[in-house]
Amino acid sequence: MDSKTVATILTDFRAGRLSLDDALEKFRDLPYEDLDYAKIDHHRMLRQGFPEVVFAQGKTTAQVAAIVERLARVNGNVIASRATPEMYETVRTLVPDAEYHELARMIVVRREEIAIDSERVILVMTAGTSDIPVAEEAALTAEIMGNKVTRVFDVGVAGIHRLLAQRHTIDQANVLIVVAGMEGALASVVGGMVAKPVIAVPTSVGYGANFGGIAALLAMLNSCAAGVAVVNIDNGFGAGRLASIINKMR
Amino acid sequence: MDSKTVATILTDFRAGRLSLDDALEKFRDLPYEDLDYAKIDHHRMLRQGFPEVVFAQGKTTAQVAAIVERLARVNGNVIASRATPEMYETVRTLVPDAEYHELARMIVVRREEIAIDSERVILVMTAGTSDIPVAEEAALTAEIMGNKVTRVFDVGVAGIHRLLAQRHTIDQANVLIVVAGMEGALASVVGGMVAKPVIAVPTSVGYGANFGGIAALLAMLNSCAAGVAVVNIDNGFGAGRLASIINKMR
Amino acid sequence: MDSKTVATILTDFRAGRLSLDDALEKFRDLPYEDLDYAKIDHHRMLRQGFPEVVFAQGKTTAQVAAIVERLARVNGNVIASRATPEMYETVRTLVPDAEYHELARMIVVRREEIAIDSERVILVMTAGTSDIPVAEEAALTAEIMGNKVTRVFDVGVAGIHRLLAQRHTIDQANVLIVVAGMEGALASVVGGMVAKPVIAVPTSVGYGANFGGIAALLAMLNSCAAGVAVVNIDNGFGAGRLASIINKMR
Amino acid sequence: MDSKTVATILTDFRAGRLSLDDALEKFRDLPYEDLDYAKIDHHRMLRQGFPEVVFAQGKTTAQVAAIVERLARVNGNVIASRATPEMYETVRTLVPDAEYHELARMIVVRREEIAIDSERVILVMTAGTSDIPVAEEAALTAEIMGNKVTRVFDVGVAGIHRLLAQRHTIDQANVLIVVAGMEGALASVVGGMVAKPVIAVPTSVGYGANFGGIAALLAMLNSCAAGVAVVNIDNGFGAGRLASIINKMR
Amino acid sequence: MDSKTVATILTDFRAGRLSLDDALEKFRDLPYEDLDYAKIDHHRMLRQGFPEVVFAQGKTTAQVAAIVERLARVNGNVIASRATPEMYETVRTLVPDAEYHELARMIVVRREEIAIDSERVILVMTAGTSDIPVAEEAALTAEIMGNKVTRVFDVGVAGIHRLLAQRHTIDQANVLIVVAGMEGALASVVGGMVAKPVIAVPTSVGYGANFGGIAALLAMLNSCAAGVAVVNIDNGFGAGRLASIINKMR
Amino acid sequence: MDSKTVATILTDFRAGRLSLDDALEKFRDLPYEDLDYAKIDHHRMLRQGFPEVVFAQGKTTAQVAAIVERLARVNGNVIASRATPEMYETVRTLVPDAEYHELARMIVVRREEIAIDSERVILVMTAGTSDIPVAEEAALTAEIMGNKVTRVFDVGVAGIHRLLAQRHTIDQANVLIVVAGMEGALASVVGGMVAKPVIAVPTSVGYGANFGGIAALLAMLNSCAAGVAVVNIDNGFGAGRLASIINKMR
Amino acid sequence: MDSKTVATILTDFRAGRLSLDDALEKFRDLPYEDLDYAKIDHHRMLRQGFPEVVFAQGKTTAQVAAIVERLARVNGNVIASRATPEMYETVRTLVPDAEYHELARMIVVRREEIAIDSERVILVMTAGTSDIPVAEEAALTAEIMGNKVTRVFDVGVAGIHRLLAQRHTIDQANVLIVVAGMEGALASVVGGMVAKPVIAVPTSVGYGANFGGIAALLAMLNSCAAGVAVVNIDNGFGAGRLASIINKMR
Amino acid sequence: MDSKTVATILTDFRAGRLSLDDALEKFRDLPYEDLDYAKIDHHRMLRQGFPEVVFAQGKTTAQVAAIVERLARVNGNVIASRATPEMYETVRTLVPDAEYHELARMIVVRREEIAIDSERVILVMTAGTSDIPVAEEAALTAEIMGNKVTRVFDVGVAGIHRLLAQRHTIDQANVLIVVAGMEGALASVVGGMVAKPVIAVPTSVGYGANFGGIAALLAMLNSCAAGVAVVNIDNGFGAGRLASIINKMR
pLDDT along chain D (250 residues), means of 10: 62 73 60 80 71 90 94 86 97 96 95 89 97 97 96 93 91 97 95 95 95 96 93 97 94
To test the contact with chain D by mutation, choose from H129, H163, H169 the residue with the greatest count of D C-beta atoms within 10 A, namely H129
Q: Which of C22-31, C73-82, G224-233, H72-81 has the lowest mean pLDDT?
A: C22-31
**Chain C (141-170) residues lying within 8 Å, Cβ to Cβ, of chain A:** 156-160, 164
pLDDT in tens, A149-190: 999 999 999 989 889 989 999 999 999 999 999 999 999 999
Model pLDDT, residue C29: 45
Which of F32, F38, F58 has the CB atom closest to A205's CB atom? F58
Which of C195, C228, C246 has the CB atom closest to F49's CB atom? C195
- A-chain residues within 8 Å CB-CB of F25? none
**Residue-range domains of chain B with CATH:** 31-110 (no CATH), 121-248 (3.40.50.1970)
Which range, B17-21, H164-168, H186-190, is most confident?
Answer: H186-190
Alpha-carbon distances of A227 from A187, B241, D31, H189, rounded to whole Å = 10, 6, 66, 54
pLDDT in tens, E17-45: 877 667 666 665 456 778 888 888 776 77
> Phi and psi for H150 in degrees, rounded to 5?
-115, 140
Model pLDDT, residue C24: 62
Closest alpha carbon to C89 in C116, C62, C70: C62
Model pLDDT, residue H101: 97
Model pLDDT, residue B27: 60
Whether the CB of B105 is below 8 Å from some CB of chain C: the reply is: no
Model pLDDT, residue B3: 55
Whether the CB of A213 is below 8 Å from some CB of chain D: the reply is: yes
Which of D158, D192, D221 has the CB atom closest to B188's CB atom? D158
Beta strand segments in chain D, E: 33-34, 39-40, 54-55, 77-81, 99-101, 106-110, 121-126, 148-152, 175-180, 198-202, 228-230
In whole angstroms, what is the distance from residue G216 CA to residue G205 CA?
Answer: 9
Model pLDDT, residue G24: 62
Q: pTM of the full predicted structure?
A: 0.92
Q: What is the mean pLDDT of chain C?
A: 89
Cβ neighbours of residue E61 closer than 8 Å, sequence gap 6 or more: E84, E86, E87, E90
Q: Which of A223-227, E111-115, G96-100 has the lowest mean pLDDT?
A: E111-115
Please report which helix (H) or strand (E) contains residue F200, including its range: strand F198-202
In whole angstroms, what is the distance from residue F219 CA to residue F182 CA?
Answer: 10
The CA distance from B21 to the nearest CA of chain C, in Å, is: 17
Model pLDDT, residue F224: 86
In whole angstroms, what is the distance from residue H199 CA to residue F234 CA?
Answer: 32
In whole angstroms, what is the distance from residue G41 CA to residue A104 CA?
Answer: 65
The CA distance from F67 to the nearest CA of chain A, in Å, is: 11
- C-chain residues within 8 Å CB-CB of F230? 221, 229-231
Model pLDDT, residue A51: 76
User: Do C231 and C199 touch, CB atoms closer than 8 A?
Assistant: yes
User: Do G71 and G52 touch, CB atoms closer than 8 A?
Assistant: yes
Tell me which DSSP letter residue C226 carries. Answer: T
Closest alpha carbon to C173 in C190, C189, C157, C196: C196
Q: Enumerate the β-bridge partners of residue D148.
A: D121
> What is the bridge-based pairing of β-strands B77-81 and B106-110?
antiparallel
CA-based angle A77:A83:A84, to the nearest 5? 135
Give the mean model confidence (pLDDT) for residues B98-112: 94
Model pLDDT, residue E29: 44
The CA distance from A91 to the nearest CA of chain B, in Å, is: 23
Each residue's pLDDT expressed in tens, for chain G with a length of 250 residues? 555 666 677 677 767 787 766 766 665 444 577 888 888 877 676 667 777 789 999 999 999 999 999 888 877 789 999 999 999 999 999 999 999 999 999 999 998 888 899 999 999 999 999 999 999 999 999 999 999 999 999 999 998 988 998 999 999 999 999 999 999 999 999 999 999 999 999 999 999 999 999 999 999 999 988 899 999 999 999 999 999 999 998 7
Touching subunits of C (3+ CB pairs, under 8 Å) are: A, B, F, G
The CA distance from G169 to the nearest CA of chain C, in Å, is: 14
* Residue C197 scores a pLDDT above 90: yes
The neighbour count for residue B237, using CB atoms within 10 Å, is 26
Tell me the torsion sign for CA atoms A65, A70, A71, A77. Answer: positive
Whether the CB of G174 is below 8 Å from some CB of chain F: the reply is: no
B112-117 contact pairs (CB < 8 A, 24+): B112/B76, B112/B77, B113/B146, B114/B77, B114/B144, B114/B145, B114/B146, B115/B146, B116/B146, B116/B147, B116/B148, B117/B147, B117/B148, B117/B248
> Phi and psi for C152 in degrees, rounded to 5?
-135, 110
Q: F3-14 vs F61-74: helix axis angle to the nearest 10? A: 40
To test the contact with chain D by mutation, choose from A29, A36, A39 the residue with the greatest count of D C-beta atoms within 10 A, namely A39
The CA distance from B78 to the nearest CA of chain C, in Å, is: 18
Closest alpha carbon to E78 in E56, E102, E103: E56
Between B2 and B5, name the one with better pLDDT. B5
CA-based angle F215:F217:F221, to the nearest 5? 120
Cβ neighbours of residue A212 closer than 8 Å, sequence gap 6 or more: A204, A233, D208
Model pLDDT, residue H2: 53
CA-based angle C237:C243:C245, to the nearest 5? 105
Beta strand segments in E82-206, E: 99-101, 106-110, 121-126, 148-152, 175-180, 198-202
Touching subunits of B (3+ CB pairs, under 8 Å) are: A, C, D, E
* Residue C150 scores a pLDDT above 50: yes
In whole angstroms, what is the distance from residue F201 CA to residue H92 CA?
Answer: 35
Torsion of CA A12, A13, A18, A21, to 10 degrees: 150
Model pLDDT, residue D81: 96
In whole angstroms, what is the distance from residue D67 CA to residue D58 CA?
Answer: 14
pLDDT in tens, H180-206: 999 999 999 999 999 999 999 999 999
Whether the CB of D33 is below 8 Å from some CB of chain H: the reply is: no
Give the mean model confidence (pLDDT) for residues A99-108: 96
In whole angstroms, what is the distance from residue G195 CA to residue G250 CA?
Answer: 16
Give the mean model confidence (pLDDT) for residues C64-71: 93
In whole angstroms, what is the distance from residue G78 CA to residue H110 CA?
Answer: 48
pLDDT in tens, B79-92: 999 999 999 999 99
pLDDT in tens, A115-129: 899 999 999 999 999
Residue type, E208: G
- F-chain residues within 8 Å CB-CB of G182? 222-224
Q: Name the 3-class secondary structure at C205.
A: coil
User: Do F178 and F190 touch, CB atoms closer than 8 A?
Assistant: yes
In whole angstroms, what is the distance from residue D27 CA to residue D9 CA?
Answer: 9
Model pLDDT, residue C31: 60
* Residue B25 scores a pLDDT above 60: yes
Each residue's pLDDT expressed in tens, for chain F with a length of 250 residues? 555 666 677 677 767 787 766 766 666 544 577 888 888 877 676 667 777 789 999 999 999 999 999 888 877 789 999 999 999 999 999 999 999 999 999 999 998 888 899 999 999 999 999 999 999 999 999 999 999 999 999 999 998 988 998 999 999 999 999 999 999 999 999 999 999 999 999 999 999 999 999 999 999 999 988 899 999 999 999 999 999 999 998 7
Model pLDDT, residue A29: 44
pLDDT in tens, C34-43: 888 888 877 6
Tell me the torsion sign for CA atoms E81, E85, E87, E89. Answer: positive
- E-chain residues within 8 Å CB-CB of D246? 197, 246, 249
To test the contact with chain H by mutation, choose from D35, D68, D232, D233 the residue with the greatest count of H C-beta atoms within 10 A, namely D232
Closest alpha carbon to E201 in E134, E150, E148, E117: E134
User: Do G129 and G152 touch, CB atoms closer than 8 A?
Assistant: no
In whole angstroms, what is the distance from residue H90 CA to residue F150 CA?
Answer: 31
Whether the CB of C28 is below 8 Å from some CB of chain G: the reply is: no
In whole angstroms, what is the distance from residue D14 CA to residue B84 CA?
Answer: 72
Three-state SS for chain A is CCHHHHHHHHHHHHCCCCCHHHHHHHCCCCCCEECCCCEECCHHHHHHCCCCCEECCCCCHHHHHHHHHHHHHHCCEEEEECCCHHHHHHHHHHCCCCEEECCCCEEEEECCCCCCCCCCEEEEEECCHHHHHHHHHHHHHHHHCCCEEEEECCCCHHHHHHHHCCHHHHHHCCEEEEEECCCCCHHHHHHHHCCCCEEEEECCCCCHHHHHHHHHHHHHHCCCCCCEEECCCCCHHHHHHHHHHHHCCC
Model pLDDT, residue C4: 63
User: Do C153 and C125 touch, CB atoms closer than 8 A?
Assistant: yes
To test the contact with chain E by mutation, choose from G44, G211, G232 the residue with the greatest count of E C-beta atoms within 10 A, namely G232
pLDDT in tens, H53-96: 899 999 999 999 999 998 888 777 899 999 999 999 999 999 99
Cβ neighbours of residue G102 closer than 8 Å, sequence gap 6 or more: G85
User: Do E207 and G232 touch, CB atoms closer than 8 A?
Assistant: yes
Whether the CB of E139 is below 8 Å from some CB of chain H: the reply is: no
User: Do F100 and F85 touch, CB atoms closer than 8 A?
Assistant: yes
- CB C39 to CB G208 under 8 A? no
Share of chain E above pLDDT 90, in %: 68
Closest alpha carbon to D226 in F145, A119, E44, A102: E44
